[in-house]
């Protein structure tokens, strides 16, 4: 993989160490947001969306968003707020051998709860199958659906979305 400006998707190496991407230890404890926003662009709705003050952008608004790993509870309010659809929430230990991801999805058809879907990496490659736990289409998300899907823990870091239906 050659990186964000060649492949279009960020590599794990480019993400690790950026202020919005949780460290490996915290990532595996409880639920937490992953903010894959690593370029300085003028944008800060994530900061305003978080009710716990766990995301800081400050001034100038081109600062990279900083995630406070202790304050973040993985409530996922920031997921729909991000105009770049760059945020998702993960829980490593969702249940026996399974992780959970809550990711933004703006395509039709939406999956139904309980449906088995293919989950994909940052390059659109299918990694594994998973089950849709919930599809949040509340009005406050302004037409960005949040899909909850469980999937095998071994794919924890690489799954970021599902293959479109």
Partner 1 sequence: MNMRITKHPILGDIEYDRKVKIYVDGQELEAIEGEMIASALLAAGIKTFRYTKKHHAPRGIFCGIGRCTDCVMTVNGMPNVRTCVTPVEEGMRIETQHGCGKWKEGAGDE
Partner 2 sequence: MRVWDIVVVGGGPAGLCAAIEAAKNGARVLLIDENSRPGGQLFKQIHKFFGSAEHKAGVRGLEIGLQLLKETKELGMDVWLNSKVCGIYDDNVLWVVKDERKSFQVKGAAVILCTGAVENSISFEGWTLPGVMGAGAAQTMINVNRVLPGRKVLMVGSGNVGVIVSYQLLQAGAEVAAIVEAAPRLGAYGVHTAKVRRAGVPFYVSHTIVRAEGDGKVERAIIARVDERFKPVDGSEIAINVDTICLATGLTPLAELAWIAGCKFVFNRVLGGHVPWHDRYMATSKKGIYIAGDITGIEEASTAMEEGRLAGVSAAAAIGLIDTERLEKIAGEIWERLDALRCGPFGENRKIAKQQVMAGGDEQ
By the criterion CB under 8 A, which residues form the site for partner 1?
106-108, 110, 143, 145
Output DSSP code: residue 114.
Answer: T
Instruction: Select 104 or 130, whichever has its Cβ closest to partner 1.
Output: 104
The only residue of 12, 23, 40, 129 in contact with partner 2, by rule CB under 8 A? 40
By CB under 8 A, residue 61 contacts partner 2: yes
Pairing of strands 98-105, 116-120: unpaired
By CB under 8 A, residue 164 contacts partner 2: yes
CA angle 164, 128, 159 (to 5 degrees): 70
Q: 113 and 102 in contact (C-beta within 8 Å)?
A: no
Helix (H, G, I), strand (E, B) or coil at 12: helix
Structure tokens at 103: 């990711």
The item of partner 2, partner 1, none sharing an interface with residue 120, based on CB under 5 to 8 Å by kind, is partner 2
By CB under 8 A, residue 144 contacts partner 2: yes
The least distance separating partner 2 from the CB of residue 120, rounded to whole angstroms, comes to 6
CA dihedral 142, 37, 44, 163 (to 10 degrees): 0
Q: 111 and 133 in contact (C-beta within 8 Å)?
A: no
With CB under 8 A as the contact rule, which of the stretches 20-28, 69-77, 115-123, 131-139 interacts with partner 2?
Answer: 115-123
By CB under 8 A, residue 23 contacts partner 2: no
Residue numbers at the binding site for partner 2 (CB under 8 A): 4-10, 36-45, 48, 60-62, 81-86, 106-108, 120-125, 142-144, 160-161, 163-164
């Amino acid at each position: 993989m050659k990186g964000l400006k060649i492949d279009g998707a960020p590599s794990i190496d480019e993400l690790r160490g950026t202020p919005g991407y949780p460290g490996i230890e915290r990532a595996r404890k409880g639920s937490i947001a992953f903010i894959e926003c690593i370029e300085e662009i003028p944008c800060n709705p994530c900061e305003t969306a978080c009710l716990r003050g766990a995301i800081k952008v400050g001034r100038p608004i081109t600062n990279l968003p900083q995630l406070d790993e202790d304050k973040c509870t993985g409530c996922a309010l920031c997921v729909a707020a991000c105009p770049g659809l760059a945020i998702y929430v993960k829980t490593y230990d969702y249940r026996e051998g399974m992780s959970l991801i809550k990711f933004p999805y703006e395509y039709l058809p939406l999956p139904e709860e309980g449906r088995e879907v293919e989950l994909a990496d940052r390059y659109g490659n299918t990694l594994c199958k998973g089950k849709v736990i919930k599809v949040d289409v509340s009005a406050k998300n302004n037409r960005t659906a949040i899909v909850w899907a469980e999937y095998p823990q071994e794919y924890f870091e690489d799954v970021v979305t599902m293959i479109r239906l």
